[in-house]
Chains A and B, each alone.
Chain A
Amino acid sequence: AQKITQTQPGMFVQEKEAVTLDCTYDTSDPSYGLFWYKQPSSGEMIFLIYQGSYDQQNATEGRYSLNFQKARKSANLVISASQLGDSAMYFCAMREGGDYKLSFGAGTTVTVRA
């Protein structure tokens, strides 16, 4: 069964607007971590933000925030004030408490228009 689902293959957003990238996950482990990575056309995966399953508050890192809805098992990434440099593929990933590995979604391509 798919552990991470990203339903939006591609999105367009106007510069300076906010964009929300959807991510739902599936786990029965009460202890898990959720990650978002950015992959520009250069190929390198860049870590953006982390949310732990026990964290009371939604994570924020600069223009990135994570809308964590535990009961719905969703961890959407919000990018505020989009910039042209935000054009990239974005991956949602999860680690379950007792596991080394990350499970990744299929990714969402974001294109920011001037």
Chain B
Amino acid sequence: DVKVTQSSRYLVKRTGEKVFLECVQDMDHENMFWYRQDPGLGLRLIYFSYDVKMKEKGDIPEGYSVSREKKERFSLILESASTNQTSMYLCASSFLKLDRADTQYFGPGTRLTVL
């Protein structure tokens, strides 16, 4: 079974803090993704990575950066957290490249609150 884990289920941070969200997958997947989930908006892609040290902006990259130093680990960084970044963050990974049938597997999510 594919296992995607995220470092925290719940996180509370203060405005202006630097925040790291970690994601690890154990299936040797090439692709990894960070989404943000807000009520009524579904999931929106922040960043994704298709290989180590490679990254691409998604639909809402502003205020975020990412790091992928190892294949199994993809980190989302909030350089200076703001209250409008309070949200549920979901990490996903997938195996095949540019295949429409490629299924993404998700972690349990991190619910981040910025005060």
* Chain A 55-95 interface mask (CB, 8 Å, partner B; 1/0): 00000000000000000000000000000000000010101
**Count of A interface residues, CB-CB < 8 Å:** 31
* Chain A 11-42 interface mask (CB, 8 Å, partner B; 1/0): 00000000000000000000111010100001
Which chain B residues numbered 42 to 63 have a C-beta less than 8 Å away from chain A?
42-45, 48, 50, 56, 58
B48–A101 CB distance below 8 A: yes
**A106-B41 contact, Cβ under 8 Å, with A53-B100, A101-B33:** yes
In the complex the two chains form, what is the Cα distance from A105 to B82 in whole Å? 26
A107–B42 CB distance below 8 A: yes
Q: A102 to chain B: which residues have CB within 8 Å?
A: 43, 45, 104
A43–B108 CB distance below 8 A: yes
- Contact count band on B: 20 to 34
Q: B43 to chain A: which residues have CB within 8 Å?
A: 45, 91, 93, 102, 104
A44–B108 CB distance below 8 A: yes
In the complex the two chains form, what is the Cα distance from A4 to B42 in whole Å? 10
Q: B106 to chain A: which residues have CB within 8 Å?
A: 37, 44-46
Partner of B107, one of A35, A44, A100, A106: A44
* Chain B 75-115 interface mask (CB, 8 Å, partner A; 1/0): 00000000000001010100001101111111111010000
In the complex the two chains form, what is the Cα distance from A101 to B42 in whole Å? 14
The chain B residues found within 8 Å of chain A, CB to CB, are 9, 31, 33, 35, 40-45, 48, 50, 56, 58, 88, 90, 92, 97-98, 100-109, 111
Q: List 14 A-B contacts (CB under 8 A).
A: A31-B100, A43-B90, A43-B108, A44-B106, A47-B103, A52-B100, A91-B42, A97-B98, A100-B31, A100-B98, A102-B43, A104-B35, A104-B42, A107-B42
Other than the known A52-B100, A100-B98, A104-B44, what 19 A-B pairs have Cβ atoms closer than 8 Å?
A33-B102, A45-B43, A45-B90, A47-B103, A52-B101, A53-B100, A91-B42, A97-B100, A98-B98, A99-B98, A100-B31, A100-B48, A101-B48, A101-B58, A102-B43, A104-B35, A104-B42, A104-B43, A106-B40
